[in-house]
Chain A
Amino acid sequence: MLVTWKYRRRNTIIQRLDPRTRLVFFVFVILALTIPDIWDLRIILPLFAVSLTLFLLSRIEWKDIRRILPYMFILVFFIVGLNGLLSGRGGPSSVTNLPSPVVFEVPIKIPFTDIGWDIPITVSKMWFAITQITRMFTMAMLVIPIPYTMDPNIYGTAFKRMGASDKVSFTMDLAFRFLPTFARDFTITMDAQRARGYELEKLKGGLVGRLQRLAPLIIPVVMQSTVTGEEVIDAMDLRAFGTKPRTWLRDNLKYAGRDYVLLGLGVAIFILCCVLKWGFGIGGYFVPEFFLNLFV
């Protein structure tokens, strides 16, 4: 069985942090980037450096993340980056509205028809793709270490101590409990269908057609999950879940000095981004001169 949860005790400063600190800091970084709508790489890069530092301090071994990392790179580079490059969407409207020099054009044509058009790749869109990728990595690097470095038994308690209800808090515990089960069911289904000659890599057709051809994988997994869900509800009912305010056994979470430092940093980042954007007008999207000069 390959599906195992990769959490390990590592004796790192990151693991000594209160789990609430890490979750709250992550929220502050997201808010700092999204509420004042920060698209200035000069501001994003220092945040990227902070995220990278925390990521490295997590001391996750390469063997643990080597399987997930390619997927993340594909997601960020090819989906987010390519989308930014081709459409310029997903960010401020100035990306596509700016009068910006066209570097080259990508011809797109609907197969078997004469319908087609050329998509202009502008300097503005290229810089936007770089910004968007950096922005995504800044957030992703705060999230990726969590399952590897945060005790799965503490998620529920962390949310409970942040003020969530018993039900919401335990839902977090349940999600982490059943993720490996879901992954195992998916692997078994994949094997079962491959043994019937199904080859995922040979999916053909348009988006709808491809989705339809994923049915042999999706339907059995959904069915398994539904049956599991019903039995889990019975199991929880039979042990009186939700009938009284519950005791959280591992509720000895306590903020230490390092937690206040990181929380302070999170608050400072958020306030600084808001002040820069709304107070001084810094942080909006713009293409730096040197980048423009590379193509003009």
Chain B
Amino acid sequence: MSDKPLVVENLTFKYRTRPELAIEGINLELKQGELLLIAGSSGCGKTTLARCINGLIPRSYRGERSGKVLFHDREVAEIPIPEMAQVVGTLLQDPERQIVASNVYNEIAFGPENLGLPHAEIFSRVDQVLKRLNLEYLRDRETFNLSGGEKQKVALAGVLTMNPSVLLLDEPLASLDPASAHEALQVFRSLADEGKTVILVEHRVEDAIEARPDRLLYMEDGRIKYLGPIRDLPPEIDHRQVKLPAPWVVQRVKALGEPLEESPRRKVEERGEPLVVFEDVDFRYDDEFPLILQNVNLNIYPGDLIAVLGPNGAGKSTLVKHSIGLLKPTKGRVLIGGEDSRKMSVAQIAHTLGYVFQSPTHMLYAPSVKEELEFGPKNLGYDSALIPKFVRESLSAVNMTGFEEYPPLGLSFGQQKRTTIAAVLAMRSKILIMDEPTAGQDFANYTHFMEALCKTSDGAHSVLSANFAATLFITHDVDLAVTYANRVLLFGDKHIIADGTPEEVLKDESLLLKYRVRPTSLLRLNLELLPKTGGFLPAESLAYYAS
């Protein structure tokens, strides 16, 4: 038997339902205890390669496969499923959908139960894994009520009880706040150090570097473009496709040799009358539940582009649901355009505030984009003669003219997100609120999406500034706040901890860490160069100022 846990030889796969090859000519060898990072933008073939490795291809996904995937010299397709589950353990992207039991202990025991192991063996395995991951405090908890980070750890524990020699982690950081992601990466590293072979599929290379991967496999168009040590990443790997540390981006921009320009200073605009006012707002769902908001005071002004940062479960979504009237304060009041939200219906408030939810699939339903965009204005009772004009202008604003007759649910994820923004634009709301606008998108797509919304050129308005008096978005991504916001709210302990410009709020590293916001390399570089720049800038723009 070979000592190589995994060998992939000339692997090619085409899905039965698609004309093009999903992956082509993949060659790869992994050693015991190696941690491999697989990166690349959406559609590059990462997930298909992962499915070939864990055996879902060819068992669950049909198509034409050639080449080999060998575990200790045995072809993956020939290994029986019960055995396969003990060779490769897979952690899926969304732990909410991976967890199948109502209780933590049952969830972790699920795999060994399926193998028909004796009771004593199952108890022993579960207890060992609980101890190994420091999860004993969760053993009797209901899975539904766990935090995102806890769910991810429980899902990992469920995989580890199968005692696999190879761990395949498919975008495991996607639903975690930065502090939980950091903790998860430390666990992945320690598992590799203990002798597991770990494959980490992640487009956020900067974050994944914390797990100290031994090698990076970079994919484009179904092929391997680079496979080697992460530090030797060749310059042809586009820093706009995967998220690299800011100093690397600066080096790459400089290496390109293109002329660097000084960035214009961010204008400080006069504040007019507040559009939304929170006055001493307290909120709890019921008398028997604890307070979720406590003494919240906040004014939203015209021109604000606010990023709301804070840990999971801090009450960020509860805060914004008050501004759109989905929740009403238990104490205090929220004024929308000077009127108390208690006296307004959600539909009335929708004239002023539009809310884009995190997942487009929670919102999109119509057979065509046009009908999707007509839905809001019709509900709000707009003149039917004006609605086609609103729809046209909204689609044009998000660069989706021509998609009128497309079914929204058939569009790409990025297009769906833009459709949801257009749906709010069509309602002529004055304020846009977005919950995790970049969630579910890879780095290249979300950068493109945010650039399309926020970027200005030659003094022209951005999509946001031209169409909305103010914008507020909830995010875990500190770099979004650094790059795009002109105001940051740090939320935690049921109220606003800090409120100010990104430069003011994000300079206090200890405060950020206290509220589970981890400073990124972009933030650190910006703080270092702040005396020269006078304000936060994207990594590429920092190249001009970095010596």
A residues sitting closer than 8 Å to B (CB atoms) are 1-5, 63, 152-153, 173-174, 176-177, 180-181, 185, 188-189, 191-199, 215-216, 218-220, 223-224, 227-228, 231-250
Contacts and interface: CB of A to CB of B under 8 A. Distances in A.
B423 interface: yes
A239 B111 contact: yes
B150 to A, nearest CB: 14
Contacts of A215: 365
B97 A246 contact: no
Contacts of A227: 97, 361
Interface string B156-178: 00110010000000000000000
Most A CB contacts (10 A, CB to CB) among B97, B102, B117, B119 go to B102
Contacts of B145: 1, 4
Given A173-B101, A232-B97, A247-B116, A220 B110 contact: no
B513 interface: no
B40 to A, nearest CB: 21
A246 B114 contact: yes
A220 B379 contact: no
B241 interface: no
A244 B100 contact: no
Contact of B376 (A177, A180, A196, A242): A196
Interface in B72-128: 80-82, 84-85, 89-90, 92, 94, 96-103, 105-106, 109-119, 122-123
B347 A249 contact: no
Nearest to A226: B361
Contacts of B379: 196-199
A242 B115 CA distance: 9
14 contacts: A177-B101, A191-B326, A191-B357, A196-B354, A196-B427, A198-B375, A220-B362, A223-B361, A231-B94, A233-B60, A239-B162, A240-B162, A245-B116, A248-B113
B375 A195 contact: no
Nearest to B103: A153
A273 B97 CA distance: 46
A2 B97 contact: no
List of 6 A-B pairs having minimum Cβ-Cβ separation, nearest first:
A197-B379, A219-B365, A231-B97, A239-B111, A240-B85, A196-B376
A237 B409 CA distance: 27
Nearest to B109: A249
Contacts of B362: 185, 188-189, 192, 220, 224
Contact of A4 (B144, B380, B409, B423): B144
B427 A250 contact: no
B41 interface: no
Contact of A234 (B56, B119, B143, B427): B56
Interface string B139-153: 000111100000000
Interface string B346-363: 110010001101010111
Contacts of A241: 110, 114
A196 B92 contact: no
Contact of B92 (A5, A192, A198, A235): A235
Contacts of A244: 82, 114-116
Contact of B103 (A152, A174, A219): A152
Contacts of A177: 99-102, 143-144
Given A153-B101, A189-B362, A244-B82, A239 B110 contact: yes
Given A247-B122, A250-B106, 14 more contacts: A196-B350, A196-B427, A220-B364, A236-B100, A237-B81, A239-B159, A240-B84, A240-B111, A240-B114, A240-B115, A241-B114, A243-B82, A244-B114, A249-B122
**Which secondary structure characterizes the binding site on chain A?**
helix
Nearest to A189: B362
B52 to A, nearest CB: 13
Contacts of B82: 240, 243-244
A210 B24 CA distance: 50
Contacts of A239: 85, 110-111, 114, 158-159, 162
Contacts of A2: 285
B81 to A, nearest CB: 5
B60 A237 contact: yes
A246 B113 CA distance: 5
Given A194-B347, A196-B427, A246-B113, A235 B98 contact: yes
Contacts of B98: 231-232, 235
Nearest to B358: A188
Contact of B119 (A4, A219, A238, A249): A249
A219 B364 CA distance: 8
Interface in B279-320: 285, 288
Contact of A195 (B109, B158, B355): B355
Nearest to A177: B102
B132 interface: no
Contacts of A224: 359, 361-362
Contact of B102 (A3, A153, A219): A153
Nearest to B61: A234
B59 interface: yes
A167 to B, nearest CB: 11
Nearest to B97: A231
B102 A231 contact: no
A244 B59 CA distance: 17
B141 to A, nearest CB: 12
Contacts of A176: 102
Contacts of A245: 116
A195 B346 contact: yes
Contact of B90 (A153, A216, A219, A238): A238
B54 interface: yes
A248 B116 CA distance: 8
Nearest to A197: B379
B106 A174 contact: no
